[in-house]
Amino acid sequence: MSNLFYTFITILFLIGFWIVLSQPSLVRKIAGLGVMQGSSLLMLLAASFAKGHGVAYPVTLALTAIIATGAVIALALVLVQQLKGFYGTSELDEIQRLRRMDQ
């Protein structure tokens, strides 16, 4: 693989990291985590195919990680839905403000 591909994967990871840090919405933060996870799996697969042939273990690990991450993201979205039902918003700043008012 070329360095350009690794640079693209790194930029993709940094975009996901920026989304997690900059967005107030919990749903967008979860989407950013999904982008970061996807870029990590791309890096794993790119490293396994670097010598021209795929190794079975990284591919199996990547498939397992996709399923596990899908389950974690689904659980996180359900928790955000519960928070939105309780607080009326999915914005992190607003939830923190409402929690401070309750104390």
Q: What is the CATH number of domain 3-102?
A: 1.10.287.3510
Q: Interior CA angle at 82 toward 78 and 85, to 5°?
A: 135
Q: Which of 1, 66, 59, 73 is nearest to 38 (CA)?
A: 66
Map out the domains of the chain as residue ranges. Answer: 3-102
pTM: 0.85
CA distances (Å), origin 59, targets 5, 22, 33, 87: 18, 32, 21, 41
Q: Which pLDDT score, from 0 to 100, does residue 57 have?
A: 83
- Contact between 84 and 90 under an 8 Å Cβ cutoff? The reply is yes
Helix (DSSP H) and strand (DSSP E) numbers for the chain? 4, 0
Give residue 53's pLDDT. 66
Q: pLDDT averaged over consecutive 10-residue blocks of the chain (103 residues)?
A: 86 97 95 95 85 75 93 97 94 92 84
